[in-house]
Structure 1
Amino acid sequence: MMKILFNNLAPQWQKIKSLSQERINNLFSSSQFINGPDVEIFEKNFSRWNGNKYAIGVSSGTDAIRVSLQSLNLDGNVQIYTLANTFIATVFAAEMAFNSNCEIHLIDHDEFLLMDINKLEEVLIKNHSKGPNIIIPVHLYGQCCDMENILELATKFEATIVEDCSQAHGSLCENEKKVGTYGTISAFSCYPGKNLGAAGDAGVIVTNNLELAKACKKIRSQGQRKKYIHEVKGGTYRLDTLQAIILDEKLKFLDEWNERRIKAAECYEKNINNNNIIIPPRANFCKKHVYHIFALLVKKRNEFITHMSKNNIPTMMHYPIPIEESRAYKYLNQNNKKTRNSAKNIVSLPIHPFMSQQELRYICRIINKFNP
């Protein structure tokens, strides 16, 4: 019986090992582990790759969102609008950025599992006059949001857009623009399992605004403009030099690895044929889905997971407990019905750039045998 890995990071290291080793040796010889020159090299290369003027490396995707929001320097009762079925870090980062002086509005998803534009407008109409407004579109699972319509709503309600691109490095919207180029400022996670992943926690912020870029650099380093000159409140959110080297070398292969993910997803879509399984449709406003996650909706999820496990196929759930139902955020007292329903049925299949056709066909064959 074939054994499948949900993700496989070892081949990535083998791909970059010869390229990285000299840079890592130089790092340990120089001992420039913090703010070494390789951090700036990665930042320049990432900003060029994504189509932004500036990139700022930080310590995690959560910190990328937090620092991005804090750099806006907003006062008053900030209104945050984000996806109800996202990972909890999006909301946590927003609360931390504003010291909980904000209201969180969780927006239910549409048929694509992305932010429902109509729901977003309804909530904006009710709440936009309370204080400064920030829309955080989450490009979930690797598929970009309906950014053209979100831009229209942001203009209409004078809202700032801060993109959460944590799962969508390289995803293209309908006008061929990459995610991260719509927001006033945008955040990426580089957690090891992401499409662009470090050898530990890491993140990156992108913007075209020089003042925001400067603010982010201060905030990530205890608010310092230079050593011991603390101009704003901040924290220790720096990207370390070793992670910058790993990310910079992996960046060279990211487009190729994304294409491999797309081909794997196409194999799933073509060969999965089971009436008990729903593959959420691809959004027409997303020109390039980069499949950080390949999600299914399965009514008898526990039975499906057991069926897959018996055949040595791991699965995961992204995400089984909605933010509004978590113990930490029940006080929000929100009820997004689609999110609550999909959370009961969501299942993720293995997907990564190094899956063989043999593995993919085997997974599809086992899925098609599922008959609860």
Structure 2
Amino acid sequence: MTIPFLDAGAGYRELRAEIDAALQRVSASGRYLLDAELAAFEEEFAAYCDNDHCVAVGSGCDALELSLRALDIGPGDEVVVPAHTFIGTWLAVSATGARPVAVDPTPDGLSLDPALVEAALTPRTRALMPVHLHGHPADLDPLLAIAGRHGLAVVEDAAQAHGARYRGRRIGSGHVVAFSFYPGKNLGAMGDGGAVVTGDSGVAERIRLLRNCGSREKYRHEVRSTHSRLDEFQAAVLRAKLPRLDAWNARRAGTAERYGRALGPVPQIAVPVTAPWADPVWHLYVIRCAERDELRRRLERAGVQTLIHYPVPPHRSPAYADDPAGAPAGTHPLSERLAAQSLSLPLGPHLGEDEARAVVAAVRAASAGLAAYPTPDGQRFPLVTEKR
């Protein structure tokens, strides 16, 4: 049995009738941009996120960049970002002319460390950009408190967290929250796409202007901007998938629980934590292993596909080699350790029980003889901690 990391086409096969009807509806309409499907999806996704406005754009990176631009963040400004994240978080900041300022996460690797965030602030800091990594919410309240004390904006990167909740609040219900609809996401299109969800009508209107060449009226351009528009086909696909999102997230959670209970006792790996204040959606299931690369090679030979999220921290990427945001090895030690030890196992709403059991058996077998995973306090990382 070969087990793919993710079967991206399975969602279409489950919803073939609904998606085919949606695509035919758009094809027959002759209206392919900024029309009824987009408006309907924006309304539906805003309601799903318990917020007032959704503005859909061309990608998750565009959603972050246009969010910052809508807040007038640009050259000379600084935005605090995680050192452990996909580089797209950083690139969105750089695209505005602002500078990403990186800090390490908390020891569980899930959130910006508030103490390090506070220490990283300067008179140029304009915003914090927490990432809801792997589908697990960042610990927002301490970061919002810091932002409130210093007059900073908070732009949430929720590219991996469609449907997650933080202390009962839906991710997406915040001030400015950016999503991606890349095909592999929990809510994925059949192409690229993204959206900004906000309760601020001014921010929403500004992003609508920025996504459409700075124009509200054809051939009248108010500001220099770009075009970044979610097309009608992708909006229609997302509308077909949105009603299934919670059910698909529940399937992911079931697989994550199965993995955690079976792999938690394996001394060579650490399984993910769930914070007591979080309801994650398990975009990724990321274990840690001191001999990660050897474990991955063994799993590949056993027919289990895995991915590494993310092997090169942004501050060590050649993209930032000549930038002040780049930094030498050892600057962000926890992020560098996560880059060297993290391994993502197959996970998705259509991963079958037999496949999940096969992944567990393969990981247990492949771990034999590898070095035990060291934890700071000698304790195992549990899958779920007691809810408060």
TM-score range normalised by the length of the shorter chain: over 0.9
CA 1:20–1:366 in structure 2 vs 1: closer, same or farther (change >3 Å)?
A: closer
* Distance across 2 between alignment mates of 1:73 and 1:111: 33
Counting matched residue pairs gives 361
String of CA shifts for 1:196-235, please: whole Å, max 9, x gaps. 0000101011011111111111110101011111112211
Partner of 1:282: 274
2:117 to 115, 120, 126: 120
> Which residue of 2 is the match for residue 162 of structure 1?
155
CA contact (8 A) 2:160 2:186 kept: yes
Preserved CA contact (<8 Å) 1:77 1:132 = no
* Rounded Cα–Cα distance in structure 1 between residues aligned with 2:23 and 2:195: 20
After TM superposition, the score normalised by the length of structure 2 is 0.90
Q: Is the counterpart of residue 303 in structure 1 residue 300 in structure 2?
A: no
What is the identity, as a one-letter code, of the residue corresponding to 1:173? Y
Match of 2:146 in 1: 153
* Partner of residue 204, structure 1: 195
Query: Which of 341, 345, 350 is matched with 1:349 structurally?
Result: 345
Asked if the contact 1:68/1:187 (under 8 Å) is kept, the reply is yes
1:228 pairs with 2:219: yes
Tell me, in whole angstroms, the C-alpha distance in 2 between the residues paired with 1:26 and 1:142. 32
More deviation, 140-149/330-339: 330-339
The list of structure 1 runs, each at least 4 consecutive aligned residues, that deviate by more than 4 angstroms after superposition, is none
Q: Show the counterpart of 1:134.
A: 127
Alignment of 1:93-112 (within 5 A): 93-96=92-95, 98=96, 100=97, 102-112=98-108
The aligned counterpart of 2:70 is 71
Match of 2:169 among 173, 177, 180: 177
SS of corresponding position for 2:281: coil
Provide the rounded CA distance (Å) in 1 between the counterparts of 2:108 and 2:229.
34
What does 1:2-151 correspond to in 2, within 5 Å?
Answer: 2-74=1-73, 77-96=76-95, 98=96, 100=97, 102-113=98-109, 114-124=111-121, 127=122, 129=123, 131-151=124-144
Report if aligned partners of 1:218, 1:225 keep a CA contact under 8 Å in 2.
yes
After alignment, is 312-321 or 322-331 more displaced?
A: 322-331
Greater Cα offset, 37-46 or 107-116: 107-116
C-alpha displacement of 1:75: 6.1
Residue of structure 1 equivalent to 2:354:
358
CA RMSD in angstroms comes to: 1.3
What does residue 373 of structure 2 align with?
Answer: none
Question: In the TM superposition, what is the alpha-carbon distance from 1:11 to its structure 2 partner?
Answer: 2.3
Contact 1:74 1:132 in 2 (8 A): no
On the 8 A contact 1:111/1:280 being kept in 2, the answer is: no
CA contact (8 A) 2:164 2:281 kept: yes
Q: Within 5 Å, which residues of 2 pair with 1:308-323? A: 308-323=299-314
Percent same amino acid among aligned pairs? Answer: 29
Structure 1 position 337 matched with structure 2 position 333:
yes
Give the Å deviation of 1:10. 2.2
C-alpha distance in 2 between matches for 1:93 and 1:198: 21
Deviation per CA, 1:240-295: give whole Å up to 9, x if none. Answer: 00000011110010000000000010000000132111113222231x11110100
Decide whether the 8 Å contact of 1:262 with 1:290 is kept in 2: yes
CA distance in 2, matches of 1:204, 1:349: 27
Q: Any conservation in 2 of the 1:112–1:283 contact (CA below 8 Å)?
A: no
**Displacement, 1:333?**
4.2
Contact 2:93/2:99 (8 A) holds in 1: no
Give 1:107 shift: 1.2
Give the structure 1 partner of residue 380 of structure 2. Answer: none
SS at match of 1:318: coil
